[in-house]
Amino acid sequence: MRRVVITGMGIICSAGRNREEFLESLRLGRSGITRIEGSDICDLRFQTGGEVKDFVATDHMSPKAADMIDRFAQFAVVAAREAVTHSGIELTDELRDTSAIITGSCVGGQATENQGFYDVYKMGKTRVHPMTIPKTMANAGASAISLEYGITGPSFTIATACSSSAHALGLAFMTIRSGMCDFAISGGSEAPFSYGLLKAWEAMRVVSPTVCRPFSRDRNGMTLGEGSAMLTLEALDHALARGAKPIAEIVGFGMSADAHHITQPSAEGAAKALRIAMKDAGIGPEQVGYVNAHGTGTTANDATETKALHLAFGAHAEKLAISSTKAMHGHTLGAAGAIESTAAILALTNDFAPPTINFNERDPECDLDYVPNRSRAVSFEYSLSNSFAFGGLNAVLAFRRI
C-alpha cells in the first residue's frame, strides 16, 4: 500500500478566511462566533453562529459562475483553490484524467431550496427558480471543483451528517493508498444559515441559547457554523517526484456505526472508530499527542466522547491534549471533519495544541485535559480528528508529522 500525504490545505470559515488567518485564530483562541446576520432570527431561541462575514462570491468568481452555485458550493471552490495553489501541483492532462474529488456535505444548498419553497408556499408564486435542483444537490461542491479544474476522475459526495467530510477524507485516503489515483481534492463544505433549517435545529433543543462551552460543566449546547476546508491528498512518491514538500501524512482511518440510537451518541461506537484508526495507522495510544475532539458542547456528546477516549486510550487518555475547536468556528456539520482535520494538521505542524475556548469549570464526567482557553506549545508525532454524526456514524482520521 502506498503512503498518502497532504500537500495543500485551503479553508474558509468564521475563524479564518484562509489558512493563515485560521492558524492565527487557533493559536490565539480567537472566536468567529457572532450574532447571526444571514437569516431572520427574531423568534429563535439562539442568536449566534459562526458565519463567514463579508463573503462576496463575486470577489472569487464571475457573477455568472456565482449565480450557478449555492453559498456552500462557493465555499468549496474557494477552499479548493487555496489548497491546490498551496500544493503547487501542475494539473497535467493525465492528472486531470485520474484525480479524485471527494467532498462531504450534510445539508447541501438548502438555503436555495428554502427560498424556492418560501416562494411557492408563502409567497404564492407559481414557479421556483430553474437552478433550484442543481444548486441544492449535496454534490454541487464536488461538481463545481471538477468544473473549475477540468478533473474527470472519480468524484462524489458523502453525506453522513456531522461526519461527512471525515468520511470523505478517509475515502480519498483509501483511494490513493490503493493505487487508484495519485492526487485527490477532498474535504467538505456547508452553509446552514437559513431560517427553515435554523428552526429545525431549534426544535432539537441542542443549540446553545448563550455560548458554546465544550466539555465545561456549564455547557448547554452547540453553536452552528459555516464554511469549507479542502485538502489535496497525494501519493508520497508522486509528491516527492514532483519536488513537493508534504505537509503531513494521513496514516489511519477508522469508521464505525453505533447501532444504538438515531441521535444519542455511544461511547462504544466512538471508541471502536478510534481503535480502528490507530490500528490502521499501526500505532499505539501512547504515540498520540493531540486529539481534535468532536466536542459539540452538548451535555450528551462531550460526556460520551470523554468516555470513548478513556475506552480507546486507557491510561494514556489523561496524557492527551484534547480540544474542541468548535467553540471558535461553530459546528460546521458536513464541513466539520475537514475543518477540524485542518486544525489537527496545523497543530501537528506548528507544535501547539489549540485551546477549547469558553471553558469555565471542570465536569466530573469530562475529566481529561481539554487545553482550556489558551493554546499550548507542545510537540507530538501523531494527531487525531474525531467526527461522530447523528445517526451514530463515526469517523476518525490519524495524521503523522513528516
Partner 1 sequence: MPDEMNPVDSTVTALAGDDLTKRVLRIIAETQRKDQSQVTIDSSFEELGIDSMDGVNIVFALENEFNVNVPDEEVKNIRNVRDMVEGVRKLVDHGNTAPAAS
Q: Percent helix, strand and coil across the chain, each rounded to 5?
A: 40, 20, 40
Closest separation between CB of residue 207 and partner 1, Å? 9
Nearer to partner 1, 44 or 133 (CB): 44
Burial of 105 (0-12, 13-18, 19+ CB in 10 A): buried
Determine if 96 is a binding residue for partner 1 (CB under 8 A). Answer: no
Site for partner 1 (CB under 8 A): which residue of 2, 30, 45, 96? 45
**Please, are residues 44 and 198 in contact by the beta-carbon 8 Å criterion?**
yes
C-alpha cell at 119: 416562494
Note if 261 is an active site residue. no
Per-residue contact track with partner 1, 178 to 207, x per CB under 8 A? Answer: -------------------------xxx--
Please pick, from the candidates 34, 47, 152, 263, the single residue that binds partner 1 as defined by CB under 8 A. Answer: 263
Question: Using CB under 8 A, which of 199, 261, 279, 319 touches partner 1?
Answer: 261
- Residue closer to partner 1 by CB (options 120, 300) is 300
Query: Does 18 engage in binding with partner 1 (CB under 8 A)?
Result: no
Q: Using alpha carbons, select from 348, 351, 352 the residue that is nearest to residue 374.
A: 352
Q: How many residues bind partner 1 (CB under 8 A)?
A: 14
**In whole angstroms, how close is the CB of 344 to partner 1 at the nearest point?**
30
**Which of 43, 93 has the CB closer to partner 1?**
43
Catalytic residue among 86, 167, 238, 294: 294
Of 13, 86, 106, 162, which one is the catalytic site residue? 162
Query: Which run of H or E residues covers position 96?
Result: helix 93-98
Give every CB contact of residue 105 below 8 A, 6+ residues apart in sequence.
72, 138, 139, 141, 157, 159, 164, 165, 188, 189, 190, 334, 335
DSSP 248-310: EEEEEEEEEE--S-SSS--HHHHHHHHHHHHHHHT--GGGEEEEE----S-HHHHHHHHHHHH
Query: Is the CB of 203 or the CB of 241 nearer to partner 1?
Result: 203
Applying CB under 8 A, among 18, 98, 220, 287 the residue interacting with partner 1 is 220
Long-range contacts of 131-138 (CB under 8 A, 24+ apart): 131/67, 131/68, 134/68, 135/68, 135/69, 135/70, 135/73, 135/109, 136/70, 136/108, 136/109, 136/110, 136/112, 137/108, 137/109, 138/105, 138/106, 138/107, 138/108, 138/109, 138/334
CB of 43 or CB of 59, closer to partner 1: 43
C-alpha cell read off for 323: 480540544
**C-alpha grid cell for residue 369?**
485535559
CB of 264 to partner 1, least distance (A): 7
- In the numeric block, the cell 487508484 is attached to 180
x/- letters, 24..43, toward partner 1 (CB under 8 A):
-------------------x
Nearer to partner 1, 203 or 378 (CB): 203
For this structure, is 331 an active site residue? yes
Is residue 300 involved in binding partner 1 (CB under 8 A)?
A: yes
106 is catalytic: no
Active-site residue (options: 86, 167, 329, 331): 331
Shortest spacing between CB 205 and partner 1, in angstroms: 5
Nearer to partner 1, 313 or 390 (CB): 390
Catalytic sites, residue numbers: 162, 294, 331
Binding stretches for partner 1 (CB under 8 A): 43, 45, 203-205, 209, 220-221, 261-264, 299-300
